[in-house]
Amino acid sequence: MLEKYGPEDNLTDVIAASNLPGSGVITINFTVDNKVNGSDGCNTYLGTYSQDKCNVSVANLQTTLILCTDQDVMTQATAYTQILEDVRTFRTSNNRLCLCTDDGRELHYRKE
């Protein structure tokens, strides 16, 4: 589950709304057959990934097209997928995952 995202020197806490669709809960799952899927807080997404040591990239992202009623959650979902598409490296520590872009944006997850 995503906890924070954005520029590494100014991370934003994920907002979660109670109305559905668009709970604001953002998730990611990696499968052994190089597929990635989850929720961007508004929509579900799927794509592919490749990994070599600590390098990772996500490609071919496709999302459902549900319009969130909460504009802040929709804005957050868009920001999330934009960062996810630019991810190049990752690191892990204490059941936490950080996906990082070359320009200093990060996605911070905790294991559920």
pLDDT at position 105: 97
Please name the residues in contact with 53: beta carbons below 8 A apart, sequence gap of 6 or more: none
User: Residue 39 sits in a domain of what CATH number?
Assistant: 2.40.128.270
| Number of structural domains in the chain | 1
What is the model's pTM?
A: 0.89
pLDDT in tens, the chain (112 residues): 999 999 999 999 998 755 445 567 899 999 999 999 999 988 999 999 999 999 999 999 999 988 788 888 888 999 999 999 999 999 999 999 999 999 999 999 998 7
Residue-range definition of the domain harbouring residue 95: 2-110
